[in-house]
Amino acid sequence: MTRPERVLVTGGSGVLGRDLVRRLQDRAEVRVLSRRPPQGPGFVQGDLETGEGLAAAVDGVDVIAHCASAADYRRPQRDVTQTRQLLAAVRGARPHLVYVSIVGVDQIPFGFFQAKLDSERLVEESGLPWTILRATEFHDLMLMFLMRLCMGPVAVVPRNALFQPVAPGDVAERMAELVTGPAAGRVPELGGPKVESMADLMRSYLDTVQRRRSIIEVPLWGRLGTWFGVGGQLITDGDRGTVPFADYLHARITSDGVLRHPYR
């Protein structure tokens, strides 16, 4: 396949999408879909849930990198609606659709993961050329969880919970390769370079921000306990990113002077 001329990035204003857009800009004409008024050249206003603005957003693109997500854990089906609306907008055209999903969506009995799996199926059955990359949790998302878990006088983390967080830049780099390459179906999963317990991740966070907190590990029962225990959110034989969590936090605080997570 020749290099794409025009690429639409849904979620191009989000954590992954912003980085992906930066990496694609000198390789193709990049369009960014956002619900907000245009924030720069290439921005197209539209809403994946209502369908508003989507026809113009997809018009004439060779590749769609679908990175948007409502990230609504209470109403996970919103992500399925978004994917469905995107596919409906494409109509008779045949852009290559590159979708980013999450490691473990087929193993973990959690509504949001089920919705991502349903979205994967819509992509596979769309009749379009497609590529799906599953990635583990981004460092920024783990940072958000950790900041919330240590708001009190002690830091409370789940016991036996293992994660393999990955730098969004590593995921963006892989996505950029996939967007500029031919449709590849399912590609190897991408995880971070290290598997770490939530307590280890909390220690890295507290060290970085130079805060002292006792860390209490509490057992998780029920479906969540099973989920963490099985390790379904870790990659088995996929690819590994390059930046460990602690190094990522250190680099961020060094450059920004403060550590904030970008999620609402």
Ligand X SMILES: NC(=O)c1ccc[n+]([C@@H]2O[C@H](COP(=O)([O-])OP(=O)(O)OC[C@H]3O[C@@H](n4cnc5c(N)ncnc54)[C@H](OP(=O)(O)O)[C@@H]3O)[C@@H](O)[C@H]2O)c1
148 binds ligand X (CB under 6 A): no
244 CB contacts (<8 Å, ≥6 apart)? 192, 193, 194
Which of 22, 29, 70, 224 binds ligand X (CB under 6 A)? It is: 70
Q: Using alpha carbons, select from 165, 74, 87, 169 the residue that is nearest to residue 120.
A: 87
Residue 248 φ/ψ, nearest 5 degrees: -65, -50
Smallest gap, in angstroms, from Cβ of residue 185 to ligand X? 18
Interface with ligand X includes 208 (CB under 6 A)?
no
Using the contact rule CB under 6 A, the part of the chain among 34-42, 181-189, 218-226, 229-237 near ligand X is: 34-42
Considering only 4, 7, 8, 15, the residue that binds ligand X (CB under 6 A) is 15
Stretch near ligand X under the rule CB under 6 A, chosen from 30-38, 55-63, 210-218, 225-233: 30-38
CB of 8 to ligand X, least distance (A): 11
Query: How far apart are CB 134 and ligand X at their closest, in Å?
Result: 7
Among 23, 62, 69, 155, binds ligand X (CB under 6 A): 69
Q: How far is the CB of 9 from ligand X (least distance, A)?
A: 9
Among 64, 68, 105, 176, binds ligand X (CB under 6 A): 68
Minimum CB distance to ligand X smaller for 126 or for 213: 126
Contacts (CB under 6 A) with ligand X, residues 109-138: 135, 137-138
The C-alpha R_g of the chain, in whole angstroms, comes to: 19
Residue of minimal Cβ distance to ligand X: 14
Point out which residues bind ligand X (CB under 6 A): 10-11, 13-17, 33-36, 47-49, 67-71, 82, 100, 102, 135, 137-138, 141
